[in-house]
Amino acid sequence: MKKKVFNVILIILTIGMIYEGYSFFNIKQDNKVLEDIKTVDVFNNKDKTLSIKVQSGGENDLEWYEPEDRSKWPSKSDYMYVGTKCEDANGTDVGDARPYVAFNENTYTATITTKKTIYCTLYFGKGKRALEVLKGHAIGGSNTTTFTEVDVDGLYRYKGTKNQVTNNYICFGTTSLNECTKSGTNNIDKYLYRIIGITSPNVDASSELEEGQLKIIRAIPSGSSAWGLSEDNEVSWDNCTMKTYLNNTFLNTIEESWRGLIDNPKWWISSSTSGGTENKGTKSKNYQIGLMYQSDYVNAGAQNKTNWLHMSNGRSVVPSSYANGVEATMSRAGSERRESWTVDGSFWTTWYYYWAIQSDGSFSKELYNSYFARPVFYLTSDGVGLVGEGTESSPFRITSVIGA
């Protein structure tokens, strides 16, 4: 469910355009500077001034020219286009800008597609789009491809062992490399996550997700919680203890400006068999935070401790409690009828299970015990710009995000 606002986490370059009867605007190397544009980089609080030469052109004047100082213009290699907003002659926001301006990322040209007088702002963010970056950093140990664009249950995924998948670390909640990678008794990997995958064109639309959204998981647990209170107490994700912990206690540890980047989809809550590679059945209400599905783990690698998604592989060094602990998933494991006996006779109860991942990497059916939880969520938009190498010491950093 994408937010219909431009997020503040942007490096913004503004181009004022007035159009009356022409089809294109162009940047021209002439002697007339129409605007001096002041931009603010919200990541380092340094002001930048950019001189842009803008000129409306006719049908025979369609070229795209560079300004005098090309280093200050958002080049394709360093910046990605993240959207346009337009106002009419009265200063009223015209809403969706696409009927008025089309930007071609391949040719780096903007085309005005209306005869109205229109004033538009083009937004660029430092970095490259997430999918492009992931494809470019997809070689793991022994030249093994660890990221694939083969669709698996609605995601392009990382797949492999701990030693193969070493390039899917990402910071969330900070843009500071030092903050993201440090560990300590009071701040153990608060900001470090790993990318499970990115939604494909076949993502399940009924979950209210769209193509191009990153799905990430915290590198190590944020804490522990339980699904329910007793073995014969059936709870769904909508009313379980784990859901409340993740979407209240944990979510409130994330700064508000970053919480707005987390999508609010519906989650699969159906039961599945051991080793299931797909999610089918029913869904929850809308929540920002969930856990990995059993299918996420199965599709990531072998069902043993070598799987890169195993909790012990979240970092090169993790506390022994994580390496030897049990991790909850949000996939149900069905139910069974059990007979119990008392001095007055026997009675039948129904026990309800969910899947958990044991310390050896295998699945087990669990009831109500409290186990480790690694929060999982989707970013709101496909307009995510990333920089960095994706490694543990140089994780990807989010440089721009825009809601469509």
Q: Does the pLDDT of residue 148 top 90, yes or no?
A: no
C-alpha 308/C-alpha 207 separation (Å) is 26
The verdict on pTM exceeding 0.85 is no
Tell me if residue 245 falls in helix, strand or coil. helix
List 79's β-bridge partners, or say none. Answer: 126
C-alpha 104/C-alpha 212 separation (Å) is 18
What is residue 65's predicted lDDT score, i.e. its pLDDT?
36
What is residue 347's predicted lDDT score, i.e. its pLDDT?
64
Report pLDDT digits (tens) over 244-267. Answer: 999 999 999 999 889 988 999 999
Q: What percent of the chain has pLDDT over 70?
A: 64
Report pLDDT digits (tens) over 5-25. Answer: 333 334 444 444 443 332 333
Residue 248 amino acid letter: N
Region 227-252: mean pLDDT is 80
Q: 349 and 201 in contact (C-beta within 8 Å)?
A: no
Q: Residues of 10-25 as b/e, b for ≥16 C-beta within 10 angstroms?
A: bbbbbbebebeebbbb
Q: How many residues does the chain have?
A: 404
Average pLDDT, rounded, for the chain: 74
